[in-house]
Amino acid sequence: MERICGRALGLQFDKNTGSLFIADAYFGLLSVGPKGGLATSLVSKDQNLPLKFTNSLDIDQTNRVIYFTDSSQRYTRRDHMLVILTNEKTGRLLKYDLESTNVTVIHNNLTFPNGVTLSQDGNFLLVAETTSCRIMRFWLKTPKAGTCEVFADLPGYPDNIKRNQQGEFWVAMYSRKSKILRWFHSKPWIVYVLSKVIPINIIRVTSHIGKGKGEGLAVKLGVNGEILEILEDVHGKRWKYASEVMERDGNLWIGSVENNVAIKLKI
């Protein structure tokens, strides 16, 4: 029912107004007033830049701009494994101006762009590319403005990325890299052949394989992309399939796309 009811994947409060902005996989960019209530559509699939798979967002509180990702122009969230299996590269990074309400595309041809966050000084923007297991950096200021580069290569498939008060970044990862998925990436046409020939749901099968043994995995990155810390629950006894890690007041709050609880860890 999620294509009818919607599925919120990214949340961020506007510190100036108290409004909550929502990246919904099916309904696009939404907002809710500080008192709650019915969400209002800001950017949807029906506009000039149709959204297929809205995923994450971050707000430039000073310049009144929302940066958000559209993971695919071909598949919806329900078929997210096809985005991964086929190494699909139609994802986009977009910008929504809260004052003018204009929407612009910052970058095209991304491989499953997922989490997004601003640097502490606002000089650059980081975007997690789930399929390629890396973090991309898009320069907004300095002489490098308008260019992009690889910020960090990761040991697993990243979901959301969040900045802490020191300007470092926590990246939540669904699982470690899979040899089977890498094989599929090298031969994306096989996915289509298998789905037509074999009388099974290839998406469900490969999704189950991709889960692996269900470990918890996250990394903390420095301001230059260096890995400062790897947080891991190897057997997934306390947490696994991490979708978000937020550091606040000496604690880590960990969310999961598979589990129905949030985990609080003291650091």
pLDDT per residue as tens digits for the range 125-174? 999 999 999 999 999 999 999 999 999 999 999 999 999 999 999 999 99
> Would you place residue 201 in the very low, low, confident or very high pLDDT band (cuts 50, 70, 90)?
low
- Per-residue pLDDT, 199: 47
Structural domain containing residue 58:
2-266
Nearest 5°: CA angle at 182, between 83 and 203?
45
- Kindly indicate the confidence band of residue 264, based on its pLDDT and cuts at 50, 70 and 90: very high
pLDDT at position 192: 62
The tokens describing 138, both together, are 């898009």
pLDDT of residue 188: 64
Q: Let me know the angle formed at the C-alpha of 158 by 52 and 135, rounded to the nearest 5 degrees.
A: 90
Give the CATH number, domain containing residue 244: 2.120.10.30
pLDDT in tens, 38-50: 999 999 876 777 8
> What's the pLDDT score for residue 213?
65
Q: Name which of 60-64, 118-122, 182-186 the model is least confident about.
A: 182-186
The structural domain count of the chain equals 1
The predicted model gives 36-62 an average pLDDT of 91
Would you say residue 22 has pLDDT above 50?
Answer: yes
How does pLDDT run across 163-199, given as a tens digit for each residue?
999 999 999 999 998 877 777 666 666 666 665 665 4
